């Protein structure tokens, strides 16, 4: 992927005048292992790394206020309104919002997002 398309590049590195050497790694687990072995750093969503942080394998740092992106569900043409598809999307959304720190519901964009560290009690 081109550097200019990477959010971390556009929002943090480029404005700071930082141009690090980049290495592309296709496997997330390998990337986490490299970070744990002090072979570099990575910019990943919190929901990807939180379990590794809880295990003490890595340390995470928030970049500014973080980056927020909307996730979309893609379905085949004609299947958008099927009850099973609606139920699956609703279930996935609810699960993510209930169990993944720092994930917020796009249907309730002004709802509070947890600001506590993993392992701390979560507000209701």
Tens of pLDDT, residue by residue over 15-47, are 999 988 888 888 999 999 999 999 999 988 888
Q: What angle do CA 98, 11, 20 make, to 5 degrees?
A: 110
The confidence score (pLDDT) of residue 112 equals: 57
Give the contacts of 13 (CB within 8 A, at least 6 positions apart). Answer: 19, 20
Q: Which two tokens stand for residue 22?
A: 């980049």
The confidence score (pLDDT) of residue 124 equals: 31
pLDDT, one tens digit per residue, over 66-121 is: 787 787 888 888 887 899 998 998 899 899 888 877 788 877 766 655 444 444 33
């Amino acid at each position: 992927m081109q550097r200019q398309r990477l959010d971390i590049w556009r929002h943090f590195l480029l404005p700071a005048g930082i141009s690090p050497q980049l290495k592309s790694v296709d496997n997330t687990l390998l990337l986490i292992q490299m970070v744990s072995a002090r072979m570099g750093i990575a910019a990943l969503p919190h929901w990807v790394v939180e379990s590794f942080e809880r295990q003490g394998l890595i340390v995470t740092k928030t970049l500014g206020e973080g980056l927020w992106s909307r996730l979309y569900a893609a379905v085949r043409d004609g299947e958008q309104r099927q009850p099973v598809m609606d139920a699956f999307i609703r279930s996935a959304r609810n699960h993510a919002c209930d169990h993944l720190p720092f994930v917020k519901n796009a249907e309730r964009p002004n709802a509070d997002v947890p600001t506590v560290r993993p392992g701390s009690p979560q507000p209701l």
